[in-house]
């Protein structure tokens, strides 16, 4: 293939986009719409996961230590706790610290607790965060079995709810994205089919005047790839704008109840690279290869 | 040169389109192929273009053994002939010039050669003034002349015209055939399929008649008997 032909093929591919601009706009529209839907679903489910993760982190159990435990016994408990695999982090809270904290929580009424420091009202305790919330109950039992532990307070009901909600979010998120991808592929395939069908006459003539199959296909490849790339960029910019707008709006209209959620939303910059890469690869792949596949049908003359 | 040796074609549906056809057309000849619809003309054309391969027998065109061609060799073979169809098959969103240049562009011809060759061919078919027109702005006869220009532009040794006058007013049909006649005088082999006997009668040329898949007549002079 000579240089002027290569130039022709690229020029022809780009020119085709303009000549068939209605079809090009339709294809880009379909691609952008599909990418926006998928992108939104992905962002939504990532953020939901993030929030669930945050809620998981908020869960801690408190293990109270027997009042008569000596310093040596507490050391043993410390070691025993360290051996339980599901424990992510733990802090020792002495009874003095516990009282101080309660005073803070009670604010002005804190003075009511004055003088109680000596009376051992609050036991020494450990605050324990678990790694895997779904194994909380099991971990509670492990902690309870340690000698010297008086009692364990753990939000097992909440943990169960969160775990199952998280599972639902994961399954539903994956499912929705999966369905969207499948539907998108169908719509895009159909759009490409129509585009190629509209040009069957050209393809047919090319065959009769002796154009090689490669020569017929390349402009379609160039065209499909370009359209995919354009769609990816448009979808990316639109999603970027939309997402940032929503985040700003949430920040300005913060409600107390939701603040802990919204704080955990990801900034767009943290998903930028993956999202753009996904869109470009998806767009270019579908555009390029889709056209190639559907042109094949008309090459059999 | 075209040579059909014992060519038969049976379609998968069981239709026997051609039966044991033997045919030889020398370089520089002008041949009409006539026959009623369903006689096998279309199949014959499809074999000439290597759209279909014979069920048995062999075909040789311009030195290519057509029934033995590999898929990759088909484009080169097709560049050695020019085709004109009944329905013109012009590209509607390209002007006359580009429609003709298209045949060269898609076959690796340099831009310089295209600029030289297309205007020459357009003037040959008498459409130099309409180079910028779109196909829909032209009459049927003019559109067919554009198609003819496209078939001629890569200088083929053989022109195959499949009912080229089928969609054209009768008074303009003569013009098209006359143009083919002129092209033939320059040395190009012309093979024209038609069922317009009146038209054939006006030219004193070889006429091959097909009926039910057989060649039933192959005469040189086919003017009406008085």
Yes or no, beta carbons of A1 and B108 under 8 Å apart: yes
Three-class SS string for chain A? Answer: CCHHHHHHHHHHHHHHHHHCHHHHHHHHHHHHHHHHHHHHHHHHHHHHHHHHHHHHHHCCEEEEECCCCCHHHHHHHHHHHHCCCCEEEEEEECHHHHHHHHHHHHHHHHHHHCCCHHHCCCCCEEEEEECCHHHHHHHHHHHHCCCCEEEEECCHHHHHHHHHHHHHHHHHHHHHHHHHHHHHHHHHHHHHHHHHHHCHHHHHHHHHCCCCHHHHHHHHHHHHHHHHHHHHHHHHHHHHHHHHHHHHHHHHCCCHHHHHHHCCCCCHHHCHHHHHHHHHHHHHHHHHHHHHHHHHHHHCC
Q: Are B203 and B174 in contact (CB under 8 A)?
A: no
User: What fold is seen in the domain B1-80+156-226?
Assistant: Rossmann fold (3.40.50)
pLDDT value of residue A215: 82
In this prediction, residues A5-9 reach a mean pLDDT of: 71
pLDDT value of residue A21: 81
The more confident residue out of B190 and A139 is B190
Domain check: are A150 and A109 in the same one?
A: yes
**Shortest CA distance from B87: residue in chain A:** A201
The more confident residue out of A263 and A27 is A27
**Shortest CA distance from A11: residue in chain B:** B105
Host domain of residue A14: 3-55+161-299
**Shortest CA distance from B94: residue in chain A:** A19
Q: Which among B225, B226, B221 is positioned nearest to B32, based on CA atoms?
A: B221
* Residue A269 reports pLDDT greater than 80: no
Question: Structural domain boundaries of chain B?
Answer: 1-80+156-226, 92-154
Domain check: are A44 and A181 in the same one?
A: yes
Yes or no, beta carbons of A2 and B108 under 8 Å apart: yes
Label residue B134 by pLDDT band (50, 70, 90): very high
Mean pLDDT for all residues in chain A: 80
Domain check: are A28 and A175 in the same one?
A: yes
Label residue B11 by pLDDT band (50, 70, 90): very high
In this prediction, residues B22-51 reach a mean pLDDT of: 91
**How many domains in chain A?**
2
* Residue A9 reports pLDDT greater than 80: no
Domain check: are A28 and A141 in the same one?
A: no
Domain check: are A99 and A188 in the same one?
A: no
Give the end of a domain, one of A107, A137, A154.
A154
pLDDT value of residue B101: 93
CA distance A199 to chain B (A): 9
Most confident of A25-39, A224-238, B116-130: B116-130
In this prediction, residues A28-54 reach a mean pLDDT of: 84
Domain check: are A211 and A278 in the same one?
A: yes
pLDDT value of residue B185: 93
Domain check: are A283 and A168 in the same one?
A: yes
pLDDT in tens, A131-172: 877 788 888 888 888 888 888 888 777 778 877 888 888 888
pLDDT value of residue A40: 87
Label residue B220 by pLDDT band (50, 70, 90): confident
Q: Which residues of A touch B (CB under 8 A)?
A: 1-2, 4-5, 8, 12, 19, 201-202, 204-213, 215-216, 301
- Contacts A23 to B, Cβ<8 Å: none
Mean pLDDT for all residues in chain B: 91
Yes or no, beta carbons of B89 and A215 under 8 Å apart: no
pLDDT in tens, B61-91: 999 999 999 988 999 999 999 999 999 999 8
Domain check: are A30 and A119 in the same one?
A: no
* Residue B126 reports pLDDT greater than 80: yes
Domain check: are A139 and A49 in the same one?
A: no
Yes or no, beta carbons of B49 and A208 under 8 Å apart: yes
* Residue B5 reports pLDDT greater than 90: yes
Give the end of a domain, one of A154, A175, A192.
A154
Q: Domain holding A82: CATH number? A: 3.30.70.3040
* Residue B226 reports pLDDT greater than 50: no
Strand order in the sheet with B64-65: B16-25, B2-10, B56-61, B64-65
Domain check: are A108 and A169 in the same one?
A: no
Give the end of a domain, one of A154, A189, A211.
A154
Domain check: are A36 and A77 in the same one?
A: no
Label residue A176 by pLDDT band (50, 70, 90): confident
A90-99, A100-109, A205-214, B110-119 — which is least confidently predicted?
A100-109
pLDDT value of residue B180: 93
Domain check: are A105 and A170 in the same one?
A: no
């Amino acid at each position: 293939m000579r240089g002027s032909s290569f130039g022709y093929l690229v020029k022809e591919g780009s020119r085709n986009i303009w000549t068939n601009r209605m079809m090009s706009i339709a294809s880009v529209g379909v691609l952008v719409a599909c990418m926006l839907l998928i992108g939104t679903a992905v962002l939504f489910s990532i953020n939901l996961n993030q929030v669930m993760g945050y809620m998981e982190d908020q869960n801690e159990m408190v293990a109270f230590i027997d009042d008569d435990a000596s310093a040596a016994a507490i050391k043993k408990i410390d070691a025993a706790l360290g051996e339980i695999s599901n424990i992510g982090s733990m802090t020792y809270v002495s009874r003095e610290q516990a009282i101080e904290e309660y005073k803070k929580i009670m604010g002005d009424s804190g003075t009511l607790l004055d003088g109680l420091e000596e009376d051992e009202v609050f036991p020494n305790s450990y605050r324990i965060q678990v790694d895997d919330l779904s194994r909380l109950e099991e971990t509670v039992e492990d902690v309870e079995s340690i000698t010297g532990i008086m009692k364990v307070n753990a939000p097992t009901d909440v943990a169960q709810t969160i775990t199952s909600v998280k599972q639902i979010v994961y399954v539903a998120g994956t499912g929705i994205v999966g369905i969207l991808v499948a539907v998108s592929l169908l719509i895009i395939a159909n759009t490409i089919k129509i585009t190629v069908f509209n040009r069957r006459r050209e393809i047919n003539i090319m065959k009769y005047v002796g154009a090689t199959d490669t020569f017929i296909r390349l402009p379609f490849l160039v065209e499909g790839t370009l359209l995919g790339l354009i769609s990816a960029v448009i979808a990316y910019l639109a999603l970027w704008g939309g997402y940032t707008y929503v985040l700003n709006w949430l920040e300005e209209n913060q409600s107390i109840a939701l603040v802990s959620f919204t704080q955990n939303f990801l900034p767009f910059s943290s998903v930028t690279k993956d999202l753009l890469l996904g869109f470009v690869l998806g767009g270019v792949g579908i555009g390029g290869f889709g056209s190639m596949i559907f042109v094949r049908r008309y090459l059999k003359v | 040169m075209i040579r059909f040796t014992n060519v038969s074609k049976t379609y998968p549906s069981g239709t026997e389109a051609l039966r044991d056809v033997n045919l030889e057309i020398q370089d520089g000849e002008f041949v009409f192929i006539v026959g009623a619809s369903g006689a096998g003309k279309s199949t014959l054309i499809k074999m000439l273009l290597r759209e279909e391969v014979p069920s048995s027998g062999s075909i040789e065109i311009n030195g290519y053994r057509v029934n033995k061609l590999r898929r990759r060799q088909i484009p080169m073979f097709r560049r050695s002939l020019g085709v004109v169809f009944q329905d013109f098959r012009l590209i509607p969103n390209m002007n006359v010039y580009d429609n003709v240049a298209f045949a060269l562009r898609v076959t690796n011809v340099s831009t310089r050669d295209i600029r030289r060759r297309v205007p020459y061919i357009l003037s040959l078919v008498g459409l130099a003034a309409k180079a910028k027109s779109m196909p829909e702005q032209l009459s049927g006869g003019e559109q067919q002349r554009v198609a003819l220009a496209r078939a001629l532009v890569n200088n083929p040794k053989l022109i195959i015209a499949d009912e080229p006058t089928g969609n054209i007013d009768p008074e303009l049909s003569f013009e098209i055939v006359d143009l083919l006649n002129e092209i033939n005088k320059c040395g190009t082999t012309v093979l024209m399929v038609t069922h317009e006997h009146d038209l054939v009668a006006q030219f004193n040329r070889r006429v091959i008649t097909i009926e039910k898949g057989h060649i039933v007549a192959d005469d040189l002079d086919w003017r009406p008997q008085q």
